[in-house]
């Protein structure tokens, strides 16, 4: 291809790169599209111009062949389009490539075309690989652009890395200086600064104290900016888009004395060159000044090329061969152009396609390609290429500094992935080496003596000498007084603690065993006392291995046994005092500890209905949903209180530690007592309510998450009204179950929540969240309390009130409820019928409601109406999708109102197309043509006053076609049945509408819209209107070529206005 040929805008020549393949065979051809800029675009050519980048594709193909990445493909067909970053050309090219069955398109290289083309590629599910300069962060949206991958990165990545570096060195105040020289089609500094400012605005620890965009880059203008900056900042972020701007800034910094150790300048680049000698080399004799300032710069740049010289030579060689044929394309600048990322783009597709083929998918769609590419890593021409979860490249930035010999060295690397949970900074030099040219320490955001140098802090002695002398004397007096007061308070506190400790200490002698009931009854006596009550007096309770029952000062109490002796610390005794004072509705009252009993026991208030475990085990109680909800809410309230009190999490929560009093209120017992629980050993049955992580390691401290898990198990018992895990009806024993719980896995065992009772699905979801295997994913007690409150729907929270309300409701409102339900059912049926009659003819709908089939029906003569909006595609392109929907809704609402005034049935709308018919399903004799004609005239009249809301100056016009003839109707489909028309008459009417606009020479073009607003009718319709009905005037249109019918004579049906205009013309 000649040098002149490559400057054309569009290339459609398919040139196979046969010369790049060293082996032969019958392999497939890889079809690759390539979008770039032409060489005559001075703003774009240095960066993405064809002669500066295209040769990289030849080098990349050679590497693909050398590595054997795509042995299935023998050759590659490469075509390119020089779009110059025009959106329309980019979209058209992508569509053409997709329709031409290309495998991939490399480009567009600019952000705006990439956004538009990316949306089209999403619709086509076609892969695009971006290789241009850093792009806008909007392209990171995987939902909007699921088929886009890239070998470059968004400016957001560099902005984020810059934030990380600033945070790493603990700078809190910065200044911004930037200069824009590049085309706004391929900007660098503008989007970078925008993304950086967005990140700063969301960071409370960083402030931009000065911001300036340079429009003039002379030393004088720089000097003005630096003088203003000097009083506001010492850390300066610099982004400049020309070497002249960089050098002049460095010279101005040195000339204004701002190259001291107080200042640090952070220059952000994307040239993959680090420090360049062009920063300070010039011909004005000021190189020494520039390099002196350069020593105060840190340069953040993309990772460098692997071997720049070899790569450039290979690109030049590739340009001299087919299909490029450009031996003069030797001015390759990898630090300016995107030649390296372009080569990496083709390598990325080859590696991803290789992986897709290996997985059994040789022809991946755009979405499949991007999913395969995620997580991929390979060595490209521009260094290590890492593809992240956005299918874009994870950039690796390197920060450079100058040593004492003015040689650059790497300070740190940052593999930026936008993940705040990790720190990607890796230092490659010691801090002492980094800040060697700054005197060994990093500059401060604000100097010690302030920005003006006049705010140096005074010494402590100078400021407070007089105060010290005065305070010393007073302190001596105060010390004596304080010591005396402290001694008094300590003694008083000890005495008070001793008194309070007596409150939670229960003397064993004060505990009285209750008298046992006489169980020797006759069988008749026993039968006569059977009851379904769950209330149990303490006299009938027997001691167990863990519990004993006593009277304490005539009050019933329960003593929990602890088979060991413990020595309590001062903190333990303080906790016992707090527990003694706890008075919460859902916590069982803690009486105290008996230290002088045969074994250590903790004493708690007795609850007459036993534990939740007892209530569930008896199974005689009828529980509706609110009853269960009330019990679960009580447990949740107890957990919430414990988690927000000094007592802390429970750790032994189970249905056996949840007691129920005579008012059916749950009272949680055995809370606190951490000093005792650490020596308690859990039995196998205790593990049924214990969190898996604690079963695996019983030495773990008690956590709130463990209580949340236990709460879920308790709720499962209440929901199903069965014991924990329903072991009575399972085939495995408790040891096997505990083993499975401890083992865990992806699907750990959990209790069933299946129940035939009334149940709230939201509660089941909450329970499943609470027993999540991952403790961090379980809800907190606050969230549980809030969610359970929302489940109550603002009803009374009192259980007893609920019981009485239910009884009252059943007694008085049953008949009213039945009548109300019947009325609602009737109203709902009416609404359903109205909606159904709008979708289908009434007689058809009635048959379908009765379950009858609707047989096809023939109508010998009906009139069909077709219309569509003129130039709707052009109009829609100027609107957003929502505006298009609103436009069509307003238009068809107008049409529907007119249809209701005529005996016309609306069949359907398809986009901007409108289909109506008269004469069916209601047969109206010969009136159908008259009804359709009158409706057509009314629509044309209404369209004249219709305006597009968001385009008030834009007028809407429609094409109308009518035809009279026979049709067959029928209902099609089962899931969404539709009443459809069939027959040649439908096609003929459609042809009348589509041929309703006559083609004129250019001089007649203005009449097109006028003709489009007329009624185009067939010969059959004309005869029916003029001969059968009469009173209508028509005008011959002439013969029209109708698909499937050949030349057909058609007519214009004249409106009243057209008849008047025609008569006036004849009279003149």
Q: CB under 8 Å to 141, separation ≥6 — which residues?
A: none
Yes or no: say if 126 and 155 are a contact pair by the CB < 8 Å rule. no
**Rounded to a whole number, what is the distance in angstroms from the first to the last CA of the chain?**
66
For 47, phi then psi, to 5°, come to -100, -45
Among positive and negative, which fits the CA dihedral 208, 212, 217, 221? negative
The reply to whether 10 and 60 lie within a common domain is yes
The reply to whether 542 and 583 lie within a common domain is yes
The token pair at 461 is: 């002695």
Report d(CA 1030, CA 992) in Å as an integer: 21
The reply to whether 595 and 570 lie within a common domain is yes
Residue 18: per-residue pLDDT: 32
User: What does each C-alpha distance from 358 to 129, 354, 362, 738 come to in angstroms?
Assistant: 21, 6, 8, 43
In-domain check, residue 493: no
In-domain check, residue 876: yes
In-domain check, residue 518: no
The reply to whether 1006 and 886 lie within a common domain is yes
Residue 463: per-residue pLDDT: 74
In the three-class reduction of DSSP (H, G, I as helix; E, B as strand; rest coil), residue 119 is classed as helix
The token pair at 945 is: 């006053």
The reply to whether 899 and 840 lie within a common domain is no
Report d(CA 464, CA 478) in Å as an integer: 20
CA-closest candidate to residue 36, choices 313, 283, 342, 267:
342
User: What does each C-alpha distance from 560 to 557, 590, 615 come to in angstroms?
Assistant: 10, 11, 20
pLDDT > 90: percent of the chain: 45
CA-closest candidate to residue 912, choices 934, 932, 885:
885
Q: Which long-range contacts (CB under 8 A, 24 or more apart) does 225-231 make?
A: 225/177, 226/252, 226/253, 226/256, 226/258, 227/256, 229/175, 229/177, 230/256, 230/258, 230/451, 231/451, 231/452
Report d(CA 613, CA 686) in Å as an integer: 12
The reply to whether 775 and 847 lie within a common domain is no
* Reported pTM: 0.46
In-domain check, residue 482: no
pLDDT lower than 50: segments of the chain: 1-26, 519-533, 998-1010
Yes or no: say if 530 and 570 are a contact pair by the CB < 8 Å rule. no
The reply to whether 794 and 677 lie within a common domain is yes
Residue 266: per-residue pLDDT: 96
Yes or no: say if 188 and 134 are a contact pair by the CB < 8 Å rule. yes
Residue-number span of the structural domain to which 61 is assigned: 5-152+306-392
Residue 530: per-residue pLDDT: 33
CATH number at residue 788: 1.10.510.10
The reply to whether 160 and 83 lie within a common domain is no
For the chain, the domain total comes to 5
The reply to whether 227 and 291 lie within a common domain is yes
In-domain check, residue 557: yes
CATH number at residue 100: 3.40.50.2300
In-domain check, residue 1038: yes
The reply to whether 866 and 917 lie within a common domain is yes
CA-closest candidate to residue 228, choices 242, 239, 212, 249:
212
375: left (phi over 0), alpha (psi -120 to 50) or beta: left
Q: What is the pLDDT of residues 644-657, one digit of tens each?
A: 999 999 999 999 99
Q: Scanning the structure block, which residue is given the tokens 């939670």?
A: 504
Q: DSSP strand E in 5-51: where?
A: 15-16, 28-36
In-domain check, residue 458: no
The reply to whether 629 and 672 lie within a common domain is yes
The reply to whether 719 and 685 lie within a common domain is yes
In-domain check, residue 337: yes
The mean pLDDT of the chain is: 85
Residue 11: per-residue pLDDT: 36
Report d(CA 179, CA 182) in Å as an integer: 9
Which of 392, 413, 430 corresponds to the end of one domain? 392
């Amino acid at each position: 291809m000649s040098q002149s040929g490559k400057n054309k805008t569009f290339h459609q020549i398919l040139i196979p790169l046969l010369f790049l393949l060293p082996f032969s065979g019958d392999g497939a051809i890889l079809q690759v599209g390539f979008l770039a800029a032409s060489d005559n675009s001075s703003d774009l050519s240095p960066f993405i111009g064809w002669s500066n980048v295209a040769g990289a594709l030849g080098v990349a193909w050679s590497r693909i062949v050398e590595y054997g990445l795509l042995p299935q493909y023998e050759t590659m067909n490469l075509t390119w389009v020089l779009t110059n970053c025009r959106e329309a050309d980019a979209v058209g090219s992508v569509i053409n490539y997709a329709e031409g069955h290309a495998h991939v398109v490399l480009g567009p290289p600019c952000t705006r075309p990439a956004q538009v083309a990316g949306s089209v590629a999403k619709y086509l599910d076609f892969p695009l690989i971006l290789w241009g300069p850093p792009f806008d962060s909007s392209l990171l949206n995987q939902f909007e652009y699921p088929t886009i991958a890239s070998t470059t990165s968004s400016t957001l990545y560099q902005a984020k890395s810059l934030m990380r570096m600033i945070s790493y060195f603990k700078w809190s105040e910065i200044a911004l200086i930037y200069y824009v020289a590049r085309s706004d089609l391929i900007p660098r500094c503008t989007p970078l600064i925008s993304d950086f400012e967005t990140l700063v605005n969301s960071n409370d620890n960083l402030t931009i104290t000065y911001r300036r965009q340079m429009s003039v880059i002379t030393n004088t203008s720089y000097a003005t900016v630096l003088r203003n900056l000097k009083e506001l900042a010492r850390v300066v972020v610099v982004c400049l888009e020309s070497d002249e701007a960089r050098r002049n800034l460095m010279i101005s910094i040195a000339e204004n004395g701002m190259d001291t150790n107080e200042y640090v300048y952070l220059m952000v680049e994307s040239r993959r060159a680090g420090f360049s000698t062009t920063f300070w080399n010039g011909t004005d004799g000021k190189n020494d000044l520039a390099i002196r300032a350069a020593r105060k710069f840190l340069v953040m740049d993309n990772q460098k090329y692997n071997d720049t010289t070899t790569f450039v030579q290979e690109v030049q060689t590739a340009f001299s061969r087919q299909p490029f044929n450009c031996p003069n394309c030797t001015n390759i600048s990898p630090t300016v152009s995107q030649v390296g990322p372009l080569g990496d783009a083709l390598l990325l597709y080859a590696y991803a396609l290789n992986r897709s083929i290996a997985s059994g998918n040789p022809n991946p769609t755009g979405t499949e390609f991007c999913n395969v590419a995620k997580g991929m890593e390979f060595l490209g021409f521009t260094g290590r290429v890492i593809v992240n979860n956005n299918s874009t490249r994870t950039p690796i930035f390197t920060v450079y500094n100058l040593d004492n010999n003015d040689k650059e060295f790497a300070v740190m690397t940052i593999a930026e992935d936008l993940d705040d949970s990790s720190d990607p900074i890796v230092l490659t030099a010691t801090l002492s080496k980094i800040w060697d040219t700054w005197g060994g320490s990093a500059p401060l955001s604000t100097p010690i003596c302030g920005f003006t140098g006049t705010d140096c802090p005074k010494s402590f002695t100078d400021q407070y000498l007089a105060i010290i002398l005065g305070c010393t004397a007073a302190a001596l007096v105060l010390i004596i007084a304080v010591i005396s007061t402290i001694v008094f308070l300590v003694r008083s506190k000890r005495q008070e603690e001793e008194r309070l400790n007596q409150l939670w200490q229960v003397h064993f002698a004060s505990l009285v065993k209750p008298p046992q009931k006489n169980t020797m009854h006759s069988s008749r006596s026993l039968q006569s006392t059977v009851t379904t009550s769950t209330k149990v007096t303490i006299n009938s309770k027997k001691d167990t291995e863990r519990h004993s029952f006593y009277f304490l000062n005539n009050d019933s109490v329960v003593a929990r046994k602890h088979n060991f002796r413990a020595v309590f610390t001062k903190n333990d005794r303080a906790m016992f005092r707090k527990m003694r004072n706890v008075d919460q509705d859902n916590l069982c009252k803690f009486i105290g500890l008996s230290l002088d009993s045969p074994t250590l026991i903790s004493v708690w208030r007795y609850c007459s209905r036993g534990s939740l475990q007892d209530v569930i085990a008896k199974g005689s109680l009828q529980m509706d949903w609110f009853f269960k909800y009330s019990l679960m809410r009580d447990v949740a309230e107890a957990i919430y209180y414990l988690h927000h009190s000094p007592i802390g999490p429970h750790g032994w929560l189970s249905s056996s530690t949840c007691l129920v009093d005579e008012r059916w209120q749950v009272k949680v017992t055995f809370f606190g007592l951490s000093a005792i629980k650490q020596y308690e050993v859990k039995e196998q049955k205790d593990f049924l309510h214990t969190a898996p992580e604690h079963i695996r390691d019983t030495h773990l401290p008690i956590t709130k998450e463990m209580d949340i898990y236990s709460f879920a198990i308790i709720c499962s018992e209440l929901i199903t009204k069965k014991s924990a895990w329903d072991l009575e009806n399972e085939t495995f024993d408790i040891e096997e179950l505990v083993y499975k719980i401890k083992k865990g896995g992806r699907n750990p065992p959990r209790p069933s929540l299946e129940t035939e009772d009334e149940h709230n699905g939201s509660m089941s979801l909450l329970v499943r969240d609470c027993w999540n295997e991952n403790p961090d994913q379980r809800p907190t007690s606050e969230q549980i309390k809030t969610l359970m409150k929302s489940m109550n729907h603002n009803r009374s929270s009192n259980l007893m009130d609920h019981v009485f309300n239910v009884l009252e409701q059943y007694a008085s409102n049953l008949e009213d409820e039945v009548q109300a339900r019947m009325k609602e059912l009737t109203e709902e049926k009416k609404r359903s019928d109205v909606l159904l009659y709008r979708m289908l003819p009434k007689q058809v709908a009635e048959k379908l409601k009765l379950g009858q089939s609707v047989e096809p029906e023939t109508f010998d003569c009906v009139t069909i109406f077709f219309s569509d909006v003129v130039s709707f595609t052009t109009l829609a392109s100027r609107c957003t999708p929502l505006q298009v929907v609103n436009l069509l809704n307003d238009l068809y609402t107008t049409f529907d109102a007119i249809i209701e005034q005529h005996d016309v049935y609306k069949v359907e709308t398809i986009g901007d197309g409108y289909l109506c018919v008269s004469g069916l399903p209601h047969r109206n004799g010969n009136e159908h043509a008259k009804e359709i004609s009158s409706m057509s005239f009314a629509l044309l009249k209404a369209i004249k006053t219709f305006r597009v809301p968001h385009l008030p100056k834009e007028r809407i016009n429609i094409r109308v076609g009518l035809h009279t003839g026979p049709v067959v109707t029928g209902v099609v489909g089962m899931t969404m049945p539709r009443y459809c028309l069939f027959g040649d008459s439908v096609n003929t009417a459609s042809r009348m509408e589509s041929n309703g606009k006559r083609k004129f020479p250019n001089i007649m073009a203005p009449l097109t819209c006028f003709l489009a607003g007329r009624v185009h009718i067939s010969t059959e319709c004309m005869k029916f209107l003029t001969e059968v009905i009469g009173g209508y005037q028509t005008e011959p249109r002439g013969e029209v070529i109708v698909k499937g019918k050949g030349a057909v004579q058609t007519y214009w049906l004249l409106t009243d206005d057209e008849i008047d205009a025609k008569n006036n013309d004849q009279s003149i």
